[in-house]
Structure 1
Amino acid sequence: MRHSSLAKLLFVPILFFACFFLFPLAVVLLSSLTAEDSFSLVHYGEILLDQYHWSVIWVTVKLGLYTTIICALLGYPLAWFIVRLVPSQAWRRALVILLLVPLFTSNIVRSFGWMVLLGRNGFLNKTLQDLGLIDTPLRLLGTETGILIGLVYILLPFMVISVGASISNMDRSLEYASRDLGANPMQTFWFINLPQTIPGLASGAMMVFALSVSAYVTPALLSGGRVTLLSMLIFQQYSTVFNFNYGGALSIVLLVATLVLVAFANRLGRTTGGRA
């Protein structure tokens, strides 16, 4: 009886998942394996045997990794500050709200904002010139650095929320025991606190990486057409060239590459967290 009720409750979510995720994914996969109305791997061969596509894949993965690393380096201290150093619960809530407010704004709007800030006559270059740090404006738009800045800004909240949840669930008794046994604060953090937060850090890293390598709006606007990522190639094949088979193959390549790296991060997080 209990299993029957559970099956009824899960029927609608499973049906929704199948219709709006599994079915479209199957369509894309079948499309990528089709050439001239017959089964073929020619699209994958063109992608994997072409140096240009490998360079695009490398830039996409590289920016995803850089975004993940920077978000971890910035997000961990920020999460620690919010959870452990802010004394008032009301202030913690206020900081979390401020952190999440940008997520309610479209990525297009935020990316246009960064275009204004990073332009040759933008706020950043003007400030650096006024401070005497640079003589000529830096070229940030149309570069990997500009894309990286935009991605870090947009995806940082995901890392902070994930790590913050892990920090709030730490076993404080282990920390007190470590201090009672003579460990200094740095040793306590490195051997007690950090290992307990590795699962949250890994979860945040997986989210940030998956979202960064699949992002289109921010890279497309901040690249100015000078930097090409895999998501931009996919959009081009679907919206401009109308080559759905080739676009499907590019989509599957991006999906597989993302899943492999995410699975590796998940395994690393579980191994490290289990040892802790």
Structure 2
Amino acid sequence: MNIDRRLALMLLAAPVLFILAFFAVPFGVVVLESLHTSGGAWGMSQYVKLFSSWFYLETLWFTFKIALWVTVASFLIGYPLAYYMTRIVTSRWLRRLLYIIVITPLFTSNIVRSFGWMILLGRRGLVNDTLLATGLIDQPLQLLSNELSIIIGMTYIMTPFMVLTITAVLQNIDTTLEVAARDLGANWLTTFTKVTFPLSLPGVVAGTLIVFTLTVSAYVTPSILSGGKKTVMSMLIFQQYASIFDFRFGATLSVTLLITTLLLITLYRLAGKPCARKPEQGIAT
């Protein structure tokens, strides 16, 4: 074994041990815990309990539905903003200012941001007061304690991750490719759809995966903005561990959420492979 290989193994040793100690081993414990019955014997009764109840299945579906909507909303907001920052803005100081504006919310606690949205979306909050003052509505809208409030709050929290991920890819795309497309007669829309967007797909895929997985596991924002009227899987898991003290069923919920998320991510990656192709050559009007 040469020196370079030994050095590489030594450098890999620390992160591998860290992953084993703080992820693999705890996850293995959780999996084993979920395979025990309430009496302590081995069995699948906890999974039978989960999949035989519509309440838990509906909660699982609601969790992924929220994550999907947040991912779509973050993409629709984040991609144009990332494109504007990397392609439209030419001033260096203005671009830095936009980066600061995007990054600054990440330094604020999710709890603070969630309570901020409670103030904005309340019956006497800024949104309802503005709509009432302009005469667009006659009575305050119910914007809190529902699915919409969770989507709004989570989109606000997750959009910076989408922007930063897509921006990192867009700023590394060779602009001469876009110039060449325009020289060949392509308009802005054709250049974007045939060159820029396909080349930025790695950032889109990475951003959507980050937003989706973080939203699926989010606890603070859904629990605050839902007002207890809507339940996601993370809230159920917390209840099982902290309130009911049913660690075995809490482990079952955790394993089911993780495995289902990994399965959906795998299907998403497989479905996205055919789309990850190079821009078409010979662009013409």
For normalisation by structure 1, the TM-score amounts to 0.97
Q: 1:264 deviation in Å? A: 2.4
Structure 2 SS opposite 1:67: helix
Q: 2:141 aligns with which of 126, 132, 138?
A: 138
Q: Deviation string for 1:32-91 (max 9, x for gaps)?
A: 111122211111111112111111111111110000001001100000111111112222
Checking the alignment, whether the CA contact within 8 Å between 1:111 and 1:221 is kept in structure 2 is yes
Q: Deviation string for 1:168-192 (max 9, x for gaps)?
A: 1112222122111111111111111
CA distance in 2, matches of 1:147, 1:129: 23
Structure 1 SS opposite 2:275: helix
Q: Deviation string for 1:111-139 (max 9, x for gaps)?
A: 11111111111111111111111111111
Mean Cα displacement is larger for which, 104-113 or 31-40? 31-40
Structure 2 counterpart of 1:263: 266
Checking the alignment, whether the CA contact within 8 Å between 1:199 and 1:270 is kept in structure 2 is no
Q: 2:30 aligns with which of 1, 5, 28?
A: 28
Checking the alignment, whether the CA contact within 8 Å between 1:121 and 1:137 is kept in structure 2 is yes
Q: 1:152 deviation in Å? A: 0.2
Structure 2 counterpart of 1:217: 220
Structure 1 counterpart of 2:123: 120
Structure 2 counterpart of 1:56: 59
CA distance in 2, matches of 1:17, 1:234: 23
CA distance in 2, matches of 1:262, 1:45: 24
Structure 2 counterpart of 1:148: 151
Task: Report whether the alignment pairs 1:183 with 2:186.
Answer: yes
Task: Report whether the alignment pairs 1:226 with 2:203.
Answer: no
Checking the alignment, whether the CA contact within 8 Å between 2:199 and 2:278 is kept in structure 1 is no
Q: 1:167 deviation in Å? A: 0.9
Q: 1:275 deviation in Å? A: 4.5
1:20 aligned partner, one-letter code: F
Query: % of aligned pairs identical?
Result: 45
Structure 2 counterpart of 1:102: 105
1:141 aligned partner, one-letter code: L
1:200 aligned partner, one-letter code: G
Mean Cα displacement is larger for which, 96-105 or 165-174? 165-174
Task: Report whether the alignment pairs 1:236 with 2:239.
Answer: yes
Structure 1 counterpart of 2:16: 14
Checking the alignment, whether the CA contact within 8 Å between 1:199 and 1:269 is kept in structure 2 is no
Q: 1:90 aligns with which of 87, 90, 93?
A: 93
CA distance in 1, matches of 2:244, 2:210: 30
Unmatched tracts of structure 1, length 5 or more: none
Structure 2 SS opposite 1:205: helix
Structure 2 counterpart of 1:202: 205
CA distance in 2, matches of 1:271, 1:57: 29
Structure 1 SS opposite 2:123: coil
CA distance in 1, matches of 2:256, 2:116: 31
1:215 aligned partner, one-letter code: A
Q: 1:158 aligns with which of 153, 158, 161?
A: 161
2:243 aligned partner, one-letter code: T
Q: 1:98 deviation in Å? A: 1.5
The structure with the largest helix share of the pair is 1
For normalisation by structure 2, the TM-score amounts to 0.94
Q: 1:107 deviation in Å? A: 0.5
CA distance in 2, matches of 1:86, 1:252: 45
Q: 1:3 aligns with which of 5, 8, 32?
A: 5
Q: 1:270 deviation in Å? A: 3.9
CA distance in 2, matches of 1:123, 1:130: 10
Mean Cα displacement is larger for which, 202-211 or 96-105? 96-105
